[in-house]
Amino acid sequence: MEIAMSIVIGIVFSVAVYMLLSRNIIRVVLGTLILSHGNHLLLITMSGLQRGAPPLLNFNEESYTDPLPQALVLTAIVIAFGVTAFLIVLVYRMYKEHELDDLEDLRGSIDE
Amino acid sequence: MSNLIFMPIIVPFFIGALLMLFAKRHRLQRIISGAASIVVLAISIYLAAAAFQNGVITAEAGDWAAPFGIVLVADSFATLMVLLSSILSVACLFFAFTTISPEREKSYFYPFYLFLMVGVNGAFLTGDIFNLFVFFEVLLLASYGLIVHGGTKYQLRESFKYIVINVFSSALFIVAIAWIYSVTGTLNMAQISERVAAMDQTGAINIIAVMFFIVFALKGGLFPLYFWLPNSYWGPPAAIAALFGGLLTKVGIYAIIRMFTLIFYHEPLFTHKGLITVIAGLTMLFGVLGAVSQFDFKRILSYHIISQVGYMVMGLGIFTPLAVAGAIFYIAHHMVVKTGLFLFAGAAEKITGTSDIKQMGGLFKTHPALAWMFFITAISLAGIPPLSGFFSKFPIILSGFQEGQHIISAVALLVGLLTLISMMKIFGYAFWGEQKHGEAAAKLSIGKMLLPAAPLVVLTIVMGIVAEPVFNYSLQIAEQIMDPSIYIESVLKE
Amino acid sequence: MKPIRPNDMMLQVTIRIVAIIIFAFSFYLLLAGHNSPGGGFIGGLMTASAILVLYLAFDVKSISKALPINFEMVIGLGLLLALGTGIVSMILGFPFLTQFFDYFQFPVYGEVELTTALPFDIGIYMVVVGAVMAIILRIEEDDI
- CA gap B288, B453 in Å, rounded: 24
Range of the domain at B435: 2-492
Nearest in space to B327 (alpha carbons), one of B244, B259, B400: B400
Range of the domain at C45: 9-141
Mean pLDDT of all residues in C52-74: 83
Each residue of B38-93: pLDDT tens digit? 999 999 999 999 988 888 888 888 778 778 888 899 989 999 999 999 999 999 99
Number of structural domains chain C divides into:
1
What is the distance in angstroms between the Cα of C116 and the nearest Cα belonging to chain A? 19
Does the CB of B192 have a partner CB in chain A at under 8 Å? no
The pLDDT confidence band at residue B133, using thresholds 50, 70 and 90, is very high
CB–CB contact B156 A69 (8 Å): no
**Better pLDDT: A70 or B83:** B83
The pTM (predicted TM-score) of the whole model is 0.93
Domain A2-51+63-98 CATH (choose: 1.10.287, 1.10.1200, 3.30.70, 1.20.1630): 1.10.287
Instruction: Give me the pLDDT at residue A112, please.
Output: 53
Query: Could you tell me if C93 and C87 are in contact, meaning their C-beta atoms sit under 8 angstroms apart?
Result: no
- CA gap B356, B376 in Å, rounded: 21
The pLDDT confidence band at residue A110, using thresholds 50, 70 and 90, is low
**First-to-last C-alpha distance (Å) of chain C:** 12
What is the distance in angstroms between the Cα of A90 and the nearest Cα belonging to chain B? 7
Query: Could you tell me if B247 and B221 are in contact, meaning their C-beta atoms sit under 8 angstroms apart?
Result: no
Instruction: Give me the pLDDT at residue A28, please.
Output: 92
Note the ipTM here: 0.93
Each residue of C121-142: pLDDT tens digit? 899 999 999 988 888 887 777 6
| Coil vs helix vs strand at C38 | coil
- Please tell me which of the candidates B3, B19, B23 has its beta carbon nearest to residue C96: B3
Instruction: Give me the pLDDT at residue C144, please.
Output: 47
Query: Could you tell me if B277 and B412 are in contact, meaning their C-beta atoms sit under 8 angstroms apart?
Result: no
Mean pLDDT of chain A: 85
Dihedral of CA atoms A92, A94, A97, A103 in degrees, nearest 10, equals -120
Instruction: Give me the pLDDT at residue A29, please.
Output: 92
Exposed e or buried b for every residue in A67-97, given b needs 16+ CB within 10 A? ebbeebbebbbbbbbbbbebbbbbbbbbeee
Query: Could you tell me if B437 and B362 are in contact, meaning their C-beta atoms sit under 8 angstroms apart?
Result: yes
Residue C143 pLDDT exceeds 60: no
| Coil vs helix vs strand at B327 | helix
Number of structural domains chain B divides into:
1
Mean pLDDT of all residues in B404-412: 89
Mean pLDDT of all residues in C5-17: 81
Q: What percent of chain A has pLDDT over 90?
A: 36
In a domain, C2, yes or no: no
Instruction: Give me the pLDDT at residue B427, please.
Output: 87
Q: What chains are in contact with A, requiring at least 3 Cβ pairs below 8 Å?
A: B, C
Q: Which of A21, A36, A45, A46 to mutate to test the interface with B (most CBs of B within 10 A)?
A: A46
Query: Could you tell me if B245 and B102 are in contact, meaning their C-beta atoms sit under 8 angstroms apart?
Result: no
Q: Which of C69, C72, C75, C79 to mutate to test the interface with B (most CBs of B within 10 A)?
A: C79
Each residue of B216-273: pLDDT tens digit? 999 988 888 888 888 888 888 888 999 998 899 899 999 999 999 999 888 888 888 8
- CA gap B20, B15 in Å, rounded: 9
| Coil vs helix vs strand at B470 | helix
Mean pLDDT of chain B: 89
Each residue of B142-194: pLDDT tens digit? 999 898 887 788 888 888 889 999 999 999 999 999 999 999 888 999 999 99
Average the pLDDT over each of A56-65, B139-148, B206-215, C112-121 and give the range with the smallest value: A56-65
Instruction: Give me the pLDDT at residue C142, please.
Output: 66
Find all residues with CB under 8 Å of B6, minimum gap 6, and list them. B59, B61, B72, C90, C96
Instruction: Give me the pLDDT at residue C4, please.
Output: 62
